[in-house]
Structure 1
Amino acid sequence: MNNLYKHALKQEKTLQEDLTKFEKEEDISVGIQGQISVGLTSLKRTIDDYEGLAKREMILVKQEKAFSNVSKLRENYTGLKNQFDRLKQREANKMSQNNRIELLGRRHNTSTQPEYPFQHDHLTREQNLYNENDFVNETDTKLDEFIAQGREVLNNMYDQNDTLKNAQRKLLDAANTLGLSHNVIQYIERISFQDKWIFIGGAIITLFSMWAIIHYLT
């Protein structure tokens, strides 16, 4: 259970680092937004798994501590999610403003006739080539970001799989230990029961022997 809690803290740290980059506009790409979204989903799943283990904890002190950790993790998760929603809304507003400005610029260019039409056509072709090249570069960048995001998700799945395996192993060890303790208790109770009857039988034989000695010798 401790390993799962440490894994959740690690996920929180990674998410906060990505959100800081997004907030400072060091990286506002679609890739980083997808990575944050996947990270939030993964963190929520980890918290749910950790809470499930906490409910099955048999030691009261450890269970109370685990529930306190769950409450703190959920509070942090809510804060991270709200921060992400706010940043996405900020970027959406900026994109809407840029689109409005671009639309107004296009209307202005359309209303103005060029003095040299052939030169304008030449510039238009160059601009189209530049836009096409820029689009290709941007596509390659986004593909690299999505590949990196997929690798991160895969690594998270591996980490969670290892954590769940460790938790399962500990649960099985605890179950085996409890089973052994139960068998030992049954064995002790059986020996105690046998010893009690041996004592009673010995006492009866001793009393009978004393009675026989007194009866036959007096």
Structure 2
Amino acid sequence: MNSLYTLALRQSSSLQSDLKQLDALSSSPSPAAASTSALNGQITASLAALDRTVDDYDAMARREIVDAKREKALARVARFRDEYRDLRKEYDRVKQRALDHKSRQDRSELFAGPSSSSSAPYAPSSSSSSALAASSSSLSYGASTSAAPRHSAHAQQQQPFSPDVSIQMGTPPNPHPSFSAPGGGGIGGGYASPNSPYMSADYSVSVHNNARTNYALREHDFLGSTGAALDGYLAQGQAVLGNLANQRDVMKGTQRRLLSAANTLGLSRSTITFIERRTKEDYYILLGGGAFTLVCFWAILHYWG
């Protein structure tokens, strides 16, 4: 029983150190997947071994004859079971923290990639800025010349706003054109048509990027859930393997006890047979001795009486 107590203490301390190591690996910026998986399997096997050790220690403690030793052993068993539950909860918390950390890291990488790649094509260049400045100057000039009396009042009523767009060679047109008022005042570029081809292109690109990001996130979540399910299946397999090994030990112990009982029964049967044979011999000796005694009494009375 003392050996089981020492083994349980050693397993508990080993589990605590393994949990600290797993927490450190999971919190690192770039954790090694192979080492983390190996450490998870080792912790699961150690938890199953500790559970079996505590069960064996509990069984031996209940068979203790001395009351003081039995109570002390049962108190140790209760403490070991509390430690096992705490270690199991700590292991679940460490795994959840590792999953959250990995999810946040992958999500930040996914969001950082498309934003950095998609922000570059839409940054205005110096040439486009100069083209916009030239376009605005030409528009203002057109607005000042359009204020001449050549525009009649009827034309102003038929066409209240007439856009004056200047297109330069080698530069894209202004996506926010200016409009000239009937009186010659120009309205600055604060309005963009919703049917503009540039706005449609920007909208389609943003929709494509959002769809790609959502698909990558769904794929990442699916892979994470698949990995967690595989870890659960592996843990269940290890627990089943440990239970099978424990049952094998129990069956071997039962076999040894049956063989010992069979040997004891065989020895007792041979002893009983020997005793029965000696009892029959003693009975025959008693009968012979009684008959000889009676013959001696008859002879004494007949010849010396």
> TM class by shorter-chain length?
0.5 to 0.7
Structure 1 gap segments, 5+ residues each: 56-62, 99-114
Q: 2:241 aligns with which of 143, 155, 170?
A: 155
| Equivalence for 1:168 | 254
Among candidates 270, 277, 283, match of residue 191 of structure 1: 277
Question: The residue matched to 1:191 in structure 2 has which SS?
Answer: helix
Change (3 A) 1:40 1:139: same
What is the aligned partner in structure 2 of residue 131 from structure 1? 217
- Cα RMSD, aligned residues only: 5.1
Q: CA deviation at 1:155?
A: 0.9
Structure whose CA Rg is larger: 2
**C-alpha contact 1:47 1:73 (8 A) present in aligned 2:** no
Query: What amino acid is aligned across from residue 43 of structure 1 in structure 2?
Result: R
| 121 and 137 in structure 1: CA distance in 2 versus 1, 3 angstrom threshold | same
1:81 maps to 2:85: yes
1:206 Cα deviation after fit: 3.0
TM-score normalised by L of structure 1: 0.54
State the shift of 1:18 in Å.
5.0
Ranges in structure 2 where 5+ consecutive residues have no aligned partner: 27-35, 102-118, 123-201
TM-score, with structure 2 as normaliser = 0.42
1:134 and 1:89, CA in 2 relative to 1: closer, same or farther beyond 3 A? closer
1:180 offset after TM fit, Å? 2.4
Q: Distance in 1 between matches of 2:289 and 2:61?
A: 54
| 1:51 correspondence with 2:59 | yes
Identity over aligned pairs, percent: 4
Deviation at 1:145, TM superposition (A): 1.1
1:146–1:121 distance in 2 versus 1, CA, 3 Å: same
Aligned pair partner of 1:21 in 18, 22, 37: 18
- Cα deviation code 1:38-78 (max 9, x no counterpart): 83896389449x728975xxxxxxx659x869745554333
Q: Quote the residue 2:290 is aligned against.
A: 204
Q: Is the Cα contact below 8 Å between 1:12 and 1:43 reproduced in 2? A: no
1:70/1:161 CA distance change after superposition, 3 Å: farther
Aligned residues of 1:43 and 1:77 also touching (Cα < 8 A): no
Distance 1:124 1:18 in 2: 44
